[in-house]
């Protein structure tokens, strides 16, 4: 397991990029990033960026669940 100091050093380059979306702009930023990752990773579960793709997908899903109104029939 990484120490807190090691984690902080590694996290800093991503801290402003990997965000919990709280508005449409940050949501769209993550959607665009995910699209680029999908192009690179595809369905390769062993790709070094596969777990990042999954995390971004979960952040997007959370935003959509809580912020995007469901369509009415």
pLDDT tens track, the chain, 73 positions: 999 999 999 999 999 999 999 999 999 999 999 999 999 999 999 999 999 999 999 999 999 999 877 755 5
Q: pTM of the predicted model, to two decimals?
A: 0.85
Neighbours of 5 (CB within 10 A): 8
Alpha helices in 12-49 (DSSP H): 24-41
| Amino acid 71: pLDDT | 56
| Amino acid 36: pLDDT | 98
Tell me how far apart the alpha carbons of residues 33 and 17 are, in angstroms, rounded to a whole number. 10
56 within 8 A of 33, measured Cβ to Cβ? yes
């Amino acid at each position: 397991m990484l120490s807190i100091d090691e984690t902080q050093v590694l996290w800093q380059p991503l801290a402003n990029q990997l965000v919990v979306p709280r508005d449409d702009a940050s949501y769209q930023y993550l959607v665009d990033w995910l699209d680029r990752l999908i192009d690179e990773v595809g369905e390769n579960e062993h790709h070094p960026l596969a777990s990042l793709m999954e995390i971004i997908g979960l952040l997007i899903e959370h935003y959509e669940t809580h912020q995007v109104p469901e369509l009415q029939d």
